[in-house]
Amino acid sequence: MYLVRAASGALYCGISDDPVRRFATHQRGKGARFFYSSPAVALVYVEACRTRSDALRQERLIKKLKKSAKEMLAASTDVPACR
């Protein structure tokens, strides 16, 4: 599970088994429509999850957070593993 900052300042949450590769895809304007209008500029958060199911569950939880909570997560240096 990962968070990417767009040029507009918005945060995008997604899942991938290789977040660095996926971020590079987002930078090329491929993948998520989210980045068509505002390109990806930084991979700001990565969280390792044991299974795809755990990653999807965590992604859903993070997408429900308010922007301020997502910003706190992006600023954190202590990256927990999915439960």
Choose the CATH number for 2-75 among 3.40.50, 3.30.1340, 3.40.1440, 1.10.10: 3.40.1440
What pLDDT was estimated at residue 62? 95
What pLDDT was estimated at residue 32? 87
CA distance 51 to 78: 20
- pTM for the complete prediction? 0.86
Tokens of 38: 């505002």
What pLDDT was estimated at residue 26? 92
What strands, in cross-sheet order, belong to the sheet with 2-6?
Answer: 11-14, 2-6, 40-46
Task: Give the CA distances from residue 4 to residues 29, 52, 62, in Å, rounded to whole numbers and listed in that order.
Answer: 13, 19, 13
Q: What is the pLDDT along the chain (83 residues), one digit of tens a residue?
A: 999 999 999 999 999 999 999 999 999 888 888 998 899 999 999 999 999 999 999 999 999 999 999 999 988 866 555 54
What pLDDT was estimated at residue 29? 82
Q: How many helices (H) and strands (E) would you count in the chain?
A: 3, 3
What pLDDT was estimated at residue 82? 56
